[in-house]
Amino acid sequence: MINQNEEESLDPQDWKSMRALGHRMVDDMLSYLENARTGGGWRPMPEAAKARLRTALPKTAEGAERAYNDFLETVLPYPLGNIHPRFWGWVIGTGTPLGALSEMLIGTMNSNVPGGEHSAVYVERQVLDWCKEMVGFPSNASGLLVTGCSIANLIGLTVARNVKAGFDVAQEGLSNAPRKPTFYGSVEMHSSLKKAVETIGIGRESLRLIPVDSKFEIELSALKSAIASDKANGFRPCGIIGNAGTVNTGAIDPLDKLADLCEEENLWFHIDGAFGALAMLSPQLRPLLKGMERADSLAFDLHKWMYMNYAAGCILIRDGNSHHRSFSTSGTYLARSPRGVAGDQPWLSEYGLDLSRNAKGIKIWMSLKEHGVDKYGRIIQQNVDQAQYLGSLVKARNELELMAPIALNVVCLRFVNSALSDAELNVINAEALSDVQEAGIAVPSGTVLNGKYTIRVAITNHRSRRDDFDVFLAKFVEFAQARVPVASAA
């Protein structure tokens, strides 16, 4: 017989010291967030710090205190920096203190949420209903919380393919396709949509990339001729992907017109609204998204423009049956029963790829209760106002140029100097961007628009203040000017 005193668990032997450590962690983390402006920014990680992280697999106990101290010394000081008020790179959210604490609640319950009869399932269903209401989707649509918009796009396009391919793709596979399925969207679409199309076997070739106009919105006439030509050549057009806020410039495609076209051509209408869909929360911005409510599937994130802690995205699908049919393949070990823990039906796992899922609904539920949806709308509007403010600063200076219209919360700009070529300006802008980042001033990111290197300031940050943009711009110009060759500096 096993001596019960020799059996082990991973719980602490000394709850009192674990409790003390926990309190210390909460205090340390709240102080860290309270001082995000002074301590939470990106800085280059020294080689010595990286070297300290390369250690052998721990074979014996180092203990919780020691693990936490190592975290404080080697991990916490070198963050991505997106909690800082001047982080505007790519499209990255900031998180909140209650969001961080909610992660502890989620981790404590540690509920697995493929489905079943327990609170986290009901929280997720409630959160999905709130999401539908926030973005103007009908309450009988289906949905799922996912890690992010990449997975949300993948799920949306999978259902689109299954519904519109004209045969049973899930059963027979694409090699049996009588006609090759095609999808359409603008050249400005996010890379996750290209990955999704590769993953579901459509192939990048069959994702028709349509040119954009001077506002970076899809060209409808080019789109229509691409569809017509594919039909004439034996392809099977399946769906159109609309952008509600492109990653490069924040452009919004003419969603209403895309919805009309999908209706005329019997195509699926998928919208990637990763951050832009949340502009719905501001009454002033809402009209920009007209037509979004007509989508068959809508993908968006809560960790970007709802400022929630990573990772939280959402897919909504108008026709819940087609959504369920696409992912409900199950196994006997998942046998349902009318009552008990497995009682509730259908399971959430029947709407996506993950079986084991964390209870991310809880942090969204907590955050919406904490602030109320109106406040999110005000801060989203505040970010858009800040983008307009930054735009006005750029327009007021000869040595700066706006590279795209400011459709939402993304400002694209570059340093210019008439004595220099575009090639020279590309180098100076890229270098000055790295300079501002490495000096710990601000973190915008870079892109290329119309062949020109461009600085992108994407504002999904509830901590930014107007003067943060003054500080960034002054320093950026200073760094860029310092890189102008003396002969051209006049």
Binding site for ligand PLP (CB under 6 A): 91, 148-150, 190, 192, 247, 272, 274-275, 301, 313
CB-closest chain residue to ligand PLP: 148
Tokens of 87: 């982080």
> Which of 314, 155, 297 has the alpha carbon at shortest distance from 239?
297
Of the two residues 285 and 473, which places its CB atom closer to ligand PLP in the complex? Answer: 285
Q: How far is the CB of 192 from ligand PLP (least distance, A)?
A: 5
> Which of 151, 213, 206, 152 has the alpha carbon at shortest distance from 184?
206
Residue 266, Ramachandran bin (φ over 0: left; ψ between -120 and 50: alpha; else beta):
left
Angle, alpha carbons 68-70-74 (nearest 5°): 125
Q: Decide the pairing of beta strands 236-243 and 207-210.
A: unpaired
Q: What is the dihedral of CA 255, 258, 264, 269, to 10 degrees?
A: -80
Residue 258's SS3 state is helix
Q: How far is the CB of 91 from ligand PLP (least distance, A)?
A: 4
Q: Are 455 and 401 in contact (CB under 8 A)?
A: no
User: Cα–chain-centroid distance for residue 39?
Assistant: 25
> Which of 318, 346, 374 has the alpha carbon at shortest distance from 134?
374
Of the two residues 85 and 245, which places its CB atom closer to ligand PLP in the complex? Answer: 245
Q: How far is the CB of 10 from ligand PLP (least distance, A)?
A: 32
Of the two residues 149 and 442, which places its CB atom closer to ligand PLP in the complex? Answer: 149
Q: How far is the CB of 59 from ligand PLP (least distance, A)?
A: 36
> Which of 326, 17, 375 has the alpha carbon at shortest distance from 158?
326
Q: How far is the CB of 185 from ligand PLP (least distance, A)?
A: 11
Q: How far is the CB of 283 from ligand PLP (least distance, A)?
A: 23
Give the C-alpha separation, 95 to 381, whole Å.
Answer: 18
Print the SS3 string covering 332-378. HHHCCCCCCCCCCCCCHHHHCCCCCCCCCHHHHHHHHHHHCHHHHHH
Q: How far is the CB of 316 from ligand PLP (least distance, A)?
A: 15
* DSSP state string for 399-462: TEEE-S---SSEEEEEE--TTS-HHHHHHHHHHHHHHHHHTTS-B-EEEEETTEEEEEEE---T
Q: How far is the CB of 270 from ligand PLP (least distance, A)?
A: 11
Of the two residues 132 and 190, which places its CB atom closer to ligand PLP in the complex? Answer: 190
Give the C-alpha separation, 325 to 454, whole Å.
Answer: 44
Q: How far is the CB of 57 from ligand PLP (least distance, A)?
A: 31
Identity of the residue numbered 209: L
Q: How far is the CB of 289 from ligand PLP (least distance, A)?
A: 14
H helix or E strand, kind and range, residue 269: strand 268-272
Residue 486, Ramachandran bin (φ over 0: left; ψ between -120 and 50: alpha; else beta):
alpha
Of the two residues 40 and 89, which places its CB atom closer to ligand PLP in the complex? Answer: 89
